[in-house]
Every structure is written in C-alpha cells, then in structure tokens.
Structure 1
Amino acid sequence: MKAGLLFSGGKDSSLAALMLARDYEVELNTFVFDPERELPSVEAAARALGLPWHKRSFGLEYLDEAAHMVLASGYPNDAITAVHRRAVEALAQEYEVVGDGTRLNDRVPMLTKSDVLRIADRYGCSYVRPLLGYGKAEVQRLAGRYLIFANGETGTLGNGDYEYEIRAAIERMGHHCEGLFPPHHGQSLVVGATGT
C-alpha cells in the first residue's frame, strides 16, 4: 500500500519516511507555494533515502493568504499549521495513508486529535505520525544513527519548509520578520544515509 509523506528534506520527515517504509510504499511529497521554486537539496535528500519524490504547489495566491495570517496574528503558528493541514488534506485525496514527521514536543505544525479524526473521516484515509511518541532528543539520536544531515537556521539550508517562502512574502510586502518569527529557529537537511 502506498503512503504519501509530507517531506521537507529534514531529519524528522526523513526518519518518519524510514519508519513508514518498513510497512508501506512511501512516496515523499514536498509542498511549495511558488510552482517555479526549485528544490535540488530536497530532491537530493529523497534520492539519499531511495524513495520517490514529488514537488507539489499550493499556488502563489495561498502564499499571500498565509503571509497575511502571520501579519494579522503577529506570530506564525496558526498560519504554518493551516498550511500543514492543507497539505495533509491534499495528500489525503490521493493516498489511503498520509504521514508526516511531527514529534511529541512539536508545537508547530501540529494538528489536533479532532483535526486528524475529521481528515480521516472526510477522506477515508489513515493519518499516521510515526514520531509522535518521540521527543526531540530521541529523534536526534535515531536520526544520527540512520541519516547524515546538516543543521542551520531557517532559510540557510535549502530545505522544503513552509516558513522560508512565507518569510520572503512578508518581506516583499514591506514588513520585517523580526518579532514575528522566533529568532535562531533551527532546521535540518538530510545529505545522506548511514546505510545502517
């Protein structure tokens, strides 16, 4: 059975992909707003995992909507969770099993139990989060066992995180992102697999 996994190219979604690949035919899916955006580093991460990869686009009109959500609330949490929910729902229309790399202590993006049940009921799919029982330290340990990855701040790694494009849109609108997004937000990008 195929499983569509939301994939940023980072260690969390990569580790989730490896866990799901034991039981499903995993296909990696990275959502962007701009259909012209190239993601060579994310594509390379998918190749390192040996799994098929698809780039999908929300469209630029949704980017403006997400940026305005951040500006209206003064923080990115609701906008990023809404974008994540839309991505999950898009995959739920195509796959019987949909997954992501959210962890136990993630705050954003994080769908609630009622969100998950509503999506499963509406689309007739299973929504799985294999890392949901794992905290950050354990994910770091397991990722280090199976993956080779780089760490850096948002926007420095070329991964497929939603935040990069939302920040750029806010800047284009003439606003500064300082004070809207947490400073020094760390991210990762998988550059290889250990073969373990």
Structure 2
Amino acid sequence: MRKILIGLLILISSSPISAFAMGSGDPYLDAQTGLTYSLYKPVNTLNLPQTKFQLLPCGGGGEEWVYTRFSKAKKKIEVMQTMKNTRCSDPGLSVKLPSVKINGVTATSFVYCDPTNSASAKKCSSKDVSRLGGYLLFKLPGYYGMKATSIQVQATGGITYSQLLSVARALTPASTKPSN
C-alpha cells in the first residue's frame, strides 16, 4: 500500500498542470493562467506601491477583469484590464480630450470635468488632470495566441497628465512565455 501511495504521489507531482503559475507569487501570472486575454503589467508606477490586485466578475458579461491600484496618501493610479471590447466598469462623468498614442495604438483621454456644465467643460484640458483626475482608454494586442485587451489607466490625487501617459506607456506583457 505504501509503495502504491508513493507511486501515485510521484505520478501526480510529475504530471503537467495547466495552472502551473497559480501560487507563483506574481499575481499577474496567476491571473493570466485563468484568462484568455493578455494581461499587461505596469513597469512605471511613479514609485507608488501596489495596494490592491483583484480579479472581479464582469457585469457586462465575459471573463473576469483585473483591477490593480497603486497608491500612497492621496495619489492613486488604477489599471483596469478586460477582454477587448468588454465593458466591466464605468469610469464616471468626464470630458473627452484629444487622442494620444500609447505604444503605437490610439488612446482616448478623458479628464474628470463635469460634462453637464457646458461652460466649464469647454475650458477643461489635460492640465486639469492633476487637479481633478483623468484616464486613458486603449486596446493592446494579444500575445502568445491570446485575445487582445481593453485597458483603462486612471490617475487621481495630483498625478499630472504627463505622468498618466508615462504609466500607460510603460505597460509590458505580464508573461514572457506562453501558458501551458
């Protein structure tokens, strides 16, 4: 009986497991294992520590989405990632700014000015991001045969538009090799 148990343990431990990254210590790799769209990891977080990483159910249907927060005191960067063209969260009332390029793709930029007040909304610009907050919406391609990703990078608490752009431009693939 003992030999059978030892044999089973050896067989189980040597078998390939599709969720190999689960428990790797890297939440991006762990999350990527269960998703069909590509995850991206922010390399530049303006030296703000990661304070939250969550996989959340998508109210708009589709796969779970990833919410990550980097914050210290009032400064906060949030990165939301979903399967391409799936809307899982609502960023709130804002005014659209001119589009910008993020790693070769077009990103739509927004500032949290009240669009219902047309007089003040017309005056809103990228300079208001540090005072009111703002966000970027864009799509990055899939890698290793996975689906593309819709990304929202949001900044509040005194982070400038230029800093918001630098965070978005520093997103890199979370995985350096294909999942099993």
TM over 0.5: no
User: Which structure carries more strand by proportion?
Assistant: 2
TM-score under structure 1 normalisation? 0.24
Structure with the bigger RCO (C-alpha within 8 Å, sep 6+) is 1
User: Which structure carries more helix by proportion?
Assistant: 1
